[in-house]
């Protein structure tokens, strides 16, 4: 029960940071998505169950603060966790390339699922513009940021294992 309160607090902090600070920062039309990066790192270095719990807790908060219809972000975030879990456990493990690739693919997958859901809800979606000017730059930016976050995690975990 205490773990759920911790996840709610962390989700509130990450979603608030995502919606306020990171939402205003852009690079070539791309936005950094710390929620997706955090879920991928939690799946790789935490546990699958905790990552699913975190995605289910963060999704409605993200929807509420970003102005999306409630429930739109659940499927994309859980899909990213599933992609990370299945690929990490069966194919690649946690080698250097896998987290970067899964962040790139996860950001694209989450964006495409969100666009499809919004199109099904009747929103007008200029697919080509959104994919070329928003989703691809965001996915590349997230992959670069994921690499910058992943390398210290690997270094610290290797140091910790050698000292034990």
CA-to-CA dists, residue 71 to 118, 140, 158, angstroms? 11, 26, 38
Q: Which residues lie across from 31 on neighbouring strands?
A: 26
Q: Is the pLDDT of residue 21 over 60?
A: yes
For 114-155, the pLDDT digits (tens) are 999 999 998 888 888 888 888 899 899 888 888 888 777 767
Distance of CA 86 to the CA centre of its chain: 16
pLDDT of residue 161: 58
How many Å apart are CA 110 and CA 34, to the nearest integer? 13
Residue 21 CB coordination number (10 Å): 11
Residue 3 CB coordination number (10 Å): 9
Higher pLDDT, 19 or 120: 120
Return mean pLDDT, the chain: 82
The residue-averaged pLDDT of 69-88 equals: 88
Domain chopping of the chain, boundaries: 27-163
Residue 152 CB coordination number (10 Å): 9
pLDDT of residue 8: 76
pLDDT of residue 90: 54
Angle of CA points 15, 45, 161, to nearest 5°: 135
Angle of CA points 124, 140, 130, to nearest 5°: 10
């Amino acid at each position: 029960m205490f773990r759920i309160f911790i996840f709610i607090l962390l989700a509130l902090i990450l979603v608030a940071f995502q919606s306020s600070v990171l939402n205003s920062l852009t690079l070539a039309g791309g936005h950094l998505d710390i929620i997706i990066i955090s879920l991928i790192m939690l799946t790789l270095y935490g546990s699958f169950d905790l990552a699913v719990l975190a995605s289910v807790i963060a999704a409605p908060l993200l929807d509420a603060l970003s102005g999306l219809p409630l429930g739109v972000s659940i499927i994309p975030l859980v899909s990213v966790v599933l992609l990370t879990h299945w690929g990490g456990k069966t194919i690649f493990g946690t080698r250097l390339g896998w987290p970067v690739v899964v962040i790139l693919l996860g950001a694209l997958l989450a964006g495409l699922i969100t666009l499809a859901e919004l199109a099904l809800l009747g929103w007008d979606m200029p697919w080509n513009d959104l994919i070329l000017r928003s989703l691809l730059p965001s996915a590349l930016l997230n992959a670069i940021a994921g690499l910058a976050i992943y390398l210290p995690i690997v270094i610290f975990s290797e140091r910790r294992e050698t000292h034990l």
